[in-house]
Chain A
């Protein structure tokens, strides 16, 4: 370990920051560790917010993580406002600064907003009535609003939008989903998209025929004050509740004058390093994958990135490069999907268990490069086994460029 590494500051108190802190300790760093983050809570499981936390009427503990063991000083509810890489100081929005020998950037991402409406306090950039689901407060707000069983329009056909729609249906709401494309097609591919859409329709999801959507901020309400969703063709859908899930934006603005951004992105190398003494991990970071340098804002991605980067901060080039193995899961409309390997998937799968008619199934897609993606639906399967199935080389192995 470098003898000069005595103070490490972790910026961001989500799962990436937490994992980085744990991993730094595991790698032998026993100096001063400070975690600063804008969330007022202890780190929690974000994936649970759109799944069990939306559904369980009484149990609001599904997102809670066990207490940490890293013995870091934690500063919660404070945002970082800047980073001075020359002086090695993280500036906080309360005017103070945290000097460091090394810094971990794990500020995550936030929900993209449709809104271009008036920026009022607590409603920055949101359209009137637009809810999102990103943090614990969002989840609590959504739960509270669902108790009155409002009619809901969900905007966004990704996994999050579909999970929210599923949760709202389970709460007894009438739900219409608005999406640019066929839901989940861009994320999972046409085959699985079809399976999920069929399940969604069986559960009563309505799909709005739309190619683009605009949520009006002013004048977009019915006579009794309901928000109106305006579609590209000028038609409107009224709803008592509008929830958007149209992607996330990395929290990099505080780094604007740090010199660390490349074309607005925070890019890291295969060991999570931005430059010596500065690592980044989680939803904020774009890292090398076999499909190029990209952000992969998923739970296991954040954990794997953080572990690799923390080790590299302590051990340098001796630390292994990140061997990113995508793992994705979703639960919606009575279907539970686990996928190991890259998505989306073209064409139809080979069925290892089950069949296309429905029910529990284990499927595999083979890719041109010899790798594969294994998918389990409504089937509990150890992830190592799923990974092995995705890795298994196809019978006819002919490497293609």
Chain B
């Protein structure tokens, strides 16, 4: 399963990092960086990150 980021939609809330810090983080500029894009073991945190985003900038494909 792959995490897909719709970068233009991302507003940098960072709630995704809050629930899945092992998968993603906001860099110094506040841009979201996907540290791990293909998730096979961390599916639940990935789902949680997708769910918590208030602008739906993340999805699983």
Contacts and interface: CB of A to CB of B under 8 A. Distances in A.
A26 B44 contact: yes
Given A66-B59, A338-B13, A383 B18 contact: yes
Interface string A65-88: 110010000000000000000000
B23 to A, nearest CB: 13
A379 B18 contact: no
Contact of A380 (B9, B21, B30, B55): B30
Given A62-B9, A303-B51, A303-B52, A384 B14 contact: yes
B44 A380 contact: no
Interface string B1-32: 00000000101111101100100011001110
Contacts of A387: 18
A382 interface: yes
B14 A382 contact: yes
B58 A66 contact: yes
Contact of B13 (A18, A62, A64, A329): A329
Interface in A1-39: 18-19, 22, 26
A48 B54 contact: yes
A386 B52 CA distance: 17
A384 B14 CA distance: 8
A45 B17 contact: no
Contacts of B13: 329, 338, 383
A254 interface: no
B12 A327 contact: no
Contacts of B34: none
Nearest to B16: A383
Contacts of A249: none
Contacts of B31: 380
B54 A66 contact: no
Interface string A346-380: 00000000000000000000000000000000011
A69 B51 CA distance: 10
Contact of B51 (A18, A329, A382): A18
B51 A380 contact: no
Nearest to A336: B11
Interface in A35-74: 45, 47-48, 52, 61-66, 69
A48 B55 contact: yes
B17 A66 contact: no
Given A66-B50, A379-B30, A382-B26, A327 B15 contact: yes
Nearest to B4: A66
Given A62-B9, A384-B14, A45 B29 contact: no
Contacts of A381: 12, 14, 26, 30
Contacts of B39: none
Contacts of B18: 382-384, 387
A300 interface: yes
Interface of A: 18-19, 22, 26, 45, 47-48, 52, 61-66, 69, 299-300, 303, 327, 329, 336, 338, 379-387
22 contacts: A22-B48, A26-B47, A26-B48, A45-B54, A45-B55, A48-B54, A62-B56, A66-B51, A66-B56, A66-B59, A300-B15, A327-B15, A329-B13, A380-B12, A380-B26, A380-B31, A382-B30, A383-B17, A384-B17, A384-B18, A385-B26, A387-B18
Closest 5 CB pairs of A and B: A380-B30, A380-B12, A382-B26, A383-B14, A382-B14
Given A52-B55, A380-B12, 16 more contacts: A26-B44, A48-B55, A61-B56, A62-B9, A64-B56, A66-B59, A66-B60, A336-B11, A338-B13, A379-B30, A380-B30, A380-B31, A381-B30, A383-B17, A386-B14, A387-B18
Interface of B: 9, 11-15, 17-18, 21, 25-26, 29-31, 44, 47-48, 50-52, 54-56, 58-60
